[in-house]
Amino acid sequence: MSASLKWVRRNYNVPAFTGLEVAYRGAPATILGGRAQYVRVLPQGAKRAAIVHPYDITYPVLPLPPRPRGWCDHCMEERAIRADGTVVRHQRNGHERFPPDERNCPGAGRKPWGICAWTIAPPATTEEEAAA
């Protein structure tokens, strides 16, 4: 996973993942990676990749994960969120450098820094959908 795509997902709140099929300027394209705050896409039939702003891409509707996801306040990694709104238990980055009793991330059990918008169900738009 590209660190710059992680930054793009966190700051622009878009589902930018390497290999994802998207639409750029109305034509199908594939995300190749990140480049600073931009996304590298390869339009279908093109020889060269285009470096574009994340908002210039039309992303597909992705299936919802089993649990919403958010950004851990301590390690800033994308993690699952419990029903009570706290981040699940996970290990720190580079956990092998820490003693076994210090490997769990201190951000577990706390509120996330932010919620990944593409991992939550959109609000109901009509009264019938709201009643269902």
Kindly report the CATH number assigned to the domain that includes residue 33: 2.30.30
Whether 50 and 11 map to the same domain: the answer is yes
Would residue 19 count as lying in a domain? yes
Query: Structural domain of residue 46, as residue ranges?
Result: 3-58
Q: What local confidence, expressed as pLDDT, does residue 6 receive?
A: 86
Same domain? 48 vs 10? yes
Q: What average pLDDT does the segment 16-36 reach?
A: 94
Q: Could you report the per-residue pLDDT of 90-130, keeping only the tens digit for each?
A: 888 777 787 888 888 888 999 988 888 777 776 666 665 55
Q: What pTM value is reported for the model?
A: 0.72
The predicted-structure confidence for 30-67, as pLDDT tens digits, reads as follows 999 998 899 999 999 999 999 999 999 999 988 888 88
**Number of compact structural domains in the chain:** 2
Residues ≥6 apart with Cβ < 8 Å to 36: 4
What integer pLDDT is reported at residue 62 of this predicted model? 86
Q: What are phi and psi of 53, to 5 degrees?
A: -75, 145
